Chains A and B, each alone.
Chain A
Amino acid sequence: DSGVTQTPKHLITATGQRVTLRCSPRSGDLSVYWYQQSLDQGLQFLIQYYNGEERAKGNILERFSAQQFPDLHSELNLSSLELGDSALYFCASSGAGTDTQYFGPGTRLTVL
């Protein structure tokens, strides 16, 4: 157990819908990262938040957005869902002054 939690574990929804994925980092970790893992794209970095502020952005679609709240948990919002958005979504966290990232168990999103 890495100490990073994610909910829900599984999510099944239809095209065009909107979903929210939630992540709680390890206690004391200030950074949260979101990654998407699909069969054809591998593990892709989406976005990073550090202590409530956006720090880095990867190949995140405009339909996707994220935020980190004062209690440091983070939410990834996916809207206007397409079939190709079906993937495993992982969040990871790291502490201040360290670059080691610990991954949560992931949310498996299926868009039908």
Chain B
Amino acid sequence: GENVEQHPSTLSVQEGDSAVIKCTYSDSASNYFPWYKQELGKRPQLIIDIRSNVGEKKDQRIAVTLNKTAKHFSLHITETQPEDSAVYFCAASNSNFGNEKLTFGTGTRLTIIP
């Protein structure tokens, strides 16, 4: 089955700086890669996703890049703010619209230092 590795496990950045979180996946058939943000005790919240036919996607301060050949994808957050502090999870699935179980990475705890 699919295996997703995520690095780093913890990340501290100064407010205003950029943060990068990286994930690798094992199943070359995976074609859907969402990122979730989870605050303590709350639900995972989708922040951005990318599909395998796209190499990069951006939404305001958040961007995701995908390298299918190397089987890795990354989350980039620019101009970080205190409210970006949370745990971020990457995930992968072999999406065929009806069977999309997500395999999650182990999470990155991001702390923004004011």
Residues of A at under 8 Å CB distance from B?
A: 2, 31, 33, 35, 42-45, 48, 50, 55-56, 58, 90, 94, 96-106, 108
Q: How many A-B residue pairs have CB under 8 A?
A: 62
Contact yes or no, A56 B99, CB < 8 A:
yes
Contact yes or no, B98 A31, CB < 8 A:
yes
CB distance from A109 to the nearest CB of B (A): 14
Give 14 CB contacts A-B under 8 Å: A43-B44, A43-B102, A43-B104, A45-B103, A48-B99, A48-B101, A50-B98, A90-B44, A94-B100, A96-B98, A99-B32, A99-B95, A100-B34, A105-B42
Count of chain B residues with a beta carbon within 8 Å of a chain A beta carbon: 25
CB-defined contacts of B3 to chain A, threshold 8 Å: none
CA distance A50 to B91 in the complex (A): 20
The listed residue (B49, B95, B97, B107) touching A42 by CB distance below 8 A is: B107
Closest to A104 in B: B43
CB-defined contacts of A97 to chain B, threshold 8 Å: 97
